[in-house]
Structure 1
Amino acid sequence: MTAADLFGANLVAMVTPMNPDGSISTEGVTSLVDHLITTGADGLVVAGTTGESPTLTDAETTQLIKAVATQATGRAKVVAGIGTYDTASSIRRAQEAEAAGADALLLVTPYYSKPTQAGVIAHCRAVAHATTLPVMLYDVPHRTGLALDPATITELATHPRIQAIKDAKGDLAEAMTVMATTDLAYYCGIDDLNLPYLAAGATGLVSVTGNLTATPNADLIQAIRTGDLDTARAIHVSQIPVTAALTTASQGAANSKAALAELGIIPHPSVRLPLVEGQPGSILALAV
């Protein structure tokens, strides 16, 4: 079974639709899942950074995974974000995600406590041992303050359930080296770099802009797979304004929700503090 079979290839870092009072919008979740799958997503990352995971309680995370898994059954893989800076908590969340119907796990490096690489290896192995689900590591040092060393990635790749990595580090040379020396599937986690990562051999994308651009992302993946680099470059260039509008003016979750609400895909652009809502009407105008 390939990584695309386990995780999908065109993954979206899904926002968590919320009501104005901050509660999770069941209507919004259902509508968004249908929108993403209909427009080309074959994997949904739930309760990740873009899903405002730091503000979700354990109960809300389980509720969200269940709702997405129920709506996406047979149509897209559901990858649940379960990583924290506490190994025991991460194990519990992993087991709850498995019980809630997740197909795979997204495991971010422990943040804030900044353990040694040996500690990171022990943490990731412990979580991977805790369920039967495949694991995608998440390397995002600008958020966690802790990068995965290449030797650490190579070591973790020997675990039978650690099968992929979402690379938001942006070191393409390192990524190409690890891809050449391990069986890990690489997923680009920086929308500005989707084209070069795919061209270098990445399996797919975990895209923030995919909340609105799942179709061109799918077309980009297909163009690379068929060796049509001219088309791939044209698609990438066409998406530069969208990426800039969604990820540079403010936080991607807030901007994506503002655009999705403007399009009527989710009822409200609500986010939880410390995020603040994107400006209605401004995001789509910048993306044109």
Structure 2
Amino acid sequence: MFKGSYVALITPMNLDGSIDVEGLDKLVDFHINNGTDGIVAVGTTGESATVTLTEHVRIVEQVVKFSNGRVPVIAGNGANATAHAIELTQALNGTGVDGMLGVTPYYNKPSPKGLIAHYKAVASHTDIPQILYNVPGRTGVDMQPETIAELSTFKNIVAIKEATGDLSRLHKLKDLCDDSFGLLSGDDATACEFILSGGDGAISVVNNIAPSLYKKMCDSAFNGDKEHAYAFDNELSLLHSSLFVEANPIPVKWAAFELGLIKNNTIRLPLTELSSANYGLVKEAMEKAQLEVK
């Protein structure tokens, strides 16, 4: 259902921290014009943890409006409280999104039983396809393949964004889940190999600033063209590391500003702007990917 090169979209902000709606429109067009297959709005990279419920819904509505059916739009609906995730899901039901992405409840460290109950409760409050999101490095909980497999049988849970970077997980999930269940990488450093090994695509941070090159890498991998897939991935390789030198989305927002993709490098507390000590590292990675700094 969801395949290809997806962007985990940053949320552009004005200097006062409010949402830059015009900037959002510009970003959507930039990605569609550069071949991005789909957009994930207000996930971790979109600063979901620091926007209000009203802002969250408005951002999603605007992305749906600006994309105008040209690409699928997925909205983040994760929260560490099941009741909050349900509230957010219900608020997103009327936005026109094609799917929702729910991160594992962070900080709480639920058991497999708790994860299953959580996701089934959330999915029961919508008919919109749901994508699981496993990123233990951010949440403190690692959803095991057996848990994912059980959830994959629920009526509208259709895919997983797997961000551990452990490619053995992909092979186990392919063994445990039906072929119709989507397998998406959430780890840029291993996304190329993930797709070459039978994955359905990637939801990417790097894609924010290098969508054309990322699309070429994904398409080559889908076609089994290892030579070109690895070549494109090599151009992206420094970005895979440098954009995580500080907490995401700090580096990618700075890079997007340097490229003129957003008009302000504004990020909400408790995150702060990229340290000047890391400017050179990110710029070097951008140059290797042949990105032109403004």
Deviation at 1:174, TM superposition (A): 2.1
Name the structure 1 match of 2:259.
263
Deviations 1:135-157 (A, max 9, x none): 11000111111111221111001
Alpha-carbon distance in structure 1 between the residues aligned to 2:14 and 2:275: 17
Whole-angstrom distance in 1 between the partners of 2:93 and 2:72? 13
Counterpart code for 1:12 = V
Distance in 2 between residues matched to 1:38 and 1:132, nearest whole Å: 30
Aligned to 1:163: 158
Structure 1 SS opposite 2:39: strand
Q: Which moved more, 1:54-63 or 1:270-279?
A: 270-279
Identity %: 37
Aligned to 1:51: 46
3-state SS in 1 of match to 2:143? coil
Query: What amino acid is the match of 1:187?
Result: L
| Mapping for residues 191-270 of structure 1, pairs under 5 Å | 191-248=188-245, 250-270=246-266
- Give TM-score, length-normalised by structure 1: 0.94
2:108 is aligned to 113
Aligned counterparts of 1:278 and 1:12: Cα–Cα separation in 2 = 21
CA RMSD of aligned residues (A): 1.4
Partner of 1:25: 20
The runs of 5 or more residues in structure 2 that have no matched partner are: 288-294
2: distance between equivalents of 1:236 and 1:43?
Answer: 20
Secondary structure of 2:209's aligned partner: helix
Q: CA deviation at 1:181?
A: 2.5
Contact kept? 2:158, 2:182, Cα under 8 Å = yes
Cα 1:170–1:286 change in 2 (3 A) is: closer
Structure 1 residue aligned with 2:290 = none
Kindly provide the amino acid, as one letter, of the partner of residue 284 in structure 1: K
Contact 1:43 1:76 (C-alpha < 8 Å) held by counterparts: yes
Structure 1 residue ranges, 4+ long, deviating more than 6 angstroms after superposition: none
Partner Cα separation in structure 2 for residue 278 and residue 114 of structure 1? 29
SS in 2 for 1:216: helix
2:186 corresponds in structure 1 to 189
Normalising by structure 2, what TM-score?
Answer: 0.92
Contact 1:269 1:278 in 2 (8 A): no
Check whether the contact 1:45–1:81 (CA below 8 A) recurs between aligned residues: yes
Gaps of 5+ in 1: none
Q: Secondary structure at the match of 1:54?
A: coil
C-alpha separation between the residues in 1 aligned to 2:242 and 2:111? 36
User: What is the DSSP-based 3-state SS (H/G/I as helix, E as strand, rest coil) of the residue aligned with 1:261?
Assistant: helix
| TM-aligned CA deviation for residue 243 of structure 1 | 2.0
The alpha carbon displacement at 1:29 in A equals 0.6
Question: Residue 60 of structure 1: CA displacement?
Answer: 0.4
Three-state SS of the structure 1 residue aligned to 2:249 is helix
Matches within 5 A, 1:132-151: 132-151=127-146
Match of 1:65 in 2: 60
Shift of 1:225: 2.1
**Which among 34, 43, 55 is matched to residue 39 of structure 1?**
34
CA distance in 2, matches of 1:251, 1:287: 18
Aligned-partner Cα distance in 1 for 2:103–2:132: 6
What is the CA-CA distance between 1:279 and the residue it aligns to? 5.5
1:82 aligns with 2:77: yes
Partners of 2:266 and 2:119 in 1: how far apart?
Answer: 33
Letter in 2 for 1:22: G
Report SS of the residue matched to 2:210: helix
Report if aligned partners of 1:270, 1:277 keep a CA contact under 8 Å in 2.
yes
Distance in 2 separating the partners of 1:111 and 1:255: 22
- 1:103 and 2:98 aligned: yes
Equivalent position amino acid for 2:97 in 1: A
C-alpha deviation, 1:44, in angstroms: 0.8
The answer to whether 1:14 aligns with 2:9 is yes
Following superposition, the deviation at residue 276 of structure 1 comes to 1.2
Cα deviation for residue 43 of structure 1 reads 1.0
